[in-house]
Structure 1
């Protein structure tokens, strides 16, 4: 049987008025569903509409049109009920640095309606779960970045939400802290059957954690599906060549476009990307020979199975990292 949807979004539209400029259409008919008990990855560069979508789903702003239900509850008609069912961990810290970790968690529990004893018990449980017990009575301002971020997530879980929204939860974390956060997110879904909505700029993170992806660009959903399905839909391997000379990229792209068995040739900086439509074992040597004949120096050449960045490039015409850097910040609500 198909798992019920924890989130149902239909034709969301949101426009922001900007003084001295034309209105900005942040969402332009966004629709998607999120299955229960799994991670939904919401991908896209800054300005794509991710943050506006999260604000609507967490009742921080209202759509101009369309509808959304979270845990079966309409976000516009019954926002208070939605808030009782969700946890939300924003990009910025939500804890008070001048309180201890324990005090922050007890306060979060009390604000969510827990009694004093239940809030203290839940705080102890979460401190142990996130390996913060030894630092429980230290001021949060003394925590490392990884410890502080784990405490933020713990605060979002204080009232045992059905759906947890994580907005860029691992940004700025070192590899060890990021791996710990990944393990905790996996535990939430696998053991507790919690639904997690994750926004991230790390495609590796989305590929590992998300059961379903929604890719948003310019306020529209441009693709959706399981990461494996999205990658499998791209036929052929990816060829990436880095030229030795900055001024040779355009010429390298022209050479690659004439090599039999290569398609979807793009250039960015000193990098030439293409997809194979013939045997990779034949195409790559042919490309390198053609570049050598054209007197284009090659610094490196790689061949790989399709990645999520390839999916994004195929759909939007630009690499995910490049898109993230090129777009401006979303207009604040």
Structure 2
């Protein structure tokens, strides 16, 4: 595999007169987590379907693991694994039987050894002989991902892998994703949790109405959105009034006895701010630095709230 696990140039897709993908470009580096975000109807699912050979594009070029998805479909499928939004497991089989079935379908040599290793890796040994119908949501997601790993794909597409999971199960899945990347696996992630993308993704692309409106690291995207500020809280109204007169560009919150002061959050600007308060003998009870998060980025770029972030 080249340094680019996925290379997309000018990807276009339309259904009749409706343009779903309007010439998007993506470059996913091998051994990283790439997250695609966007509101419902932005074109995320269509993008994933094209990349995983489930749908043909109308234009552009797409190479996955160095292979053209249009002309080398079998080669692409041999290199990828796909875990959908809903766990694709057979509830009438045990966890071990689900894994063994996948090993048989993929004609994996030493199938029993592979199954044993995956059960151990995903902490499913104790429940291996139980019917999947008795599994919790977190266990099903782990089993689903374990089944995806049969055959050792080098690129894995995860479509909302933690939807519906409790916080502990979600963090367990995060650790599994990090372990996969540490082993050199490339992850293409769609998620409805912006915190998840912030925690896991090396790079993020935001898709809106079929066009990419931003790409970069989580920090790069946050820096594109204004709103960094320092919040100062005071013990009484007198100090609040005095600080507001000195910091004329601040916004006050009388109920909380607080001021919001625009700032880049750097040490130099923080020092200057505190020195200015000290110059007028004003003391703040506490201060905190706030920077835009991915929710702010998403809203600024798409005009939508995170309630409609992709699936």
Note the 1:74-153 alignment, pairs <5 A: 74-115=68-109, 118-153=110-145
1:229 aligns to 2:220 (yes or no): yes
1:312 aligns to 2:288 (yes or no): no
Cα deviation for residue 239 of structure 1 reads 9.5
Answer yes or no: is the 8 Å Cα contact 1:59–1:83 preserved in 2.
yes
Cα deviation for residue 234 of structure 1 reads 3.0
Counterpart CA distance in 2 for 1:207 and 1:238 is 20
Query: Alignment partner of 2:126: what SS?
Result: helix
Cα deviation for residue 24 of structure 1 reads 2.8
Query: Alignment partner of 2:205: what SS?
Result: strand
Answer yes or no: is the 8 Å Cα contact 2:230–2:263 preserved in 1.
no
Give the structure-1-normalised TM-score: 0.74
Answer yes or no: is the 8 Å Cα contact 1:10–1:67 preserved in 2.
yes
Answer yes or no: is the 8 Å Cα contact 1:43–1:213 preserved in 2.
yes
Q: Which one has the largest radius of gyration?
A: 2
In structure 2, the residue matched to 1:181 is 173
Q: Which runs of 4+ in 1 moved over 6 A?
A: 277-282
Query: Alignment partner of 2:48: what SS?
Result: helix
1:168 aligns to 2:160 (yes or no): yes
Counterpart CA distance in 2 for 1:98 and 1:217 is 40
Counterpart CA distance in 2 for 1:275 and 1:221 is 33
Note the 1:199-238 alignment, pairs <5 A: 199-237=190-228
Cα deviation for residue 236 of structure 1 reads 3.9
Counterpart CA distance in 1 for 2:39 and 2:146 is 27
In structure 1, the residue matched to 2:27 is 33
Query: Alignment partner of 1:133: what SS?
Result: coil
Counterpart CA distance in 1 for 2:218 and 2:67 is 28
**For the aligned residues, what is the CA RMSD?**
2.5
Structure 1: runs of 5 or more not aligned: 18-22, 241-258, 263-273, 283-301
Q: Deviations over 1:141-163 (max 9, x none)?
A: 11000000100101110110010
Cα deviation for residue 235 of structure 1 reads 4.0
Counterpart CA distance in 2 for 1:221 and 1:138 is 45
Say if 1:104 and 1:308 are closer, same or farther in 2 by CA, change over 3 A. Answer: same
In structure 1, the residue matched to 2:50 is 56
Query: Alignment partner of 1:160: what SS?
Result: coil
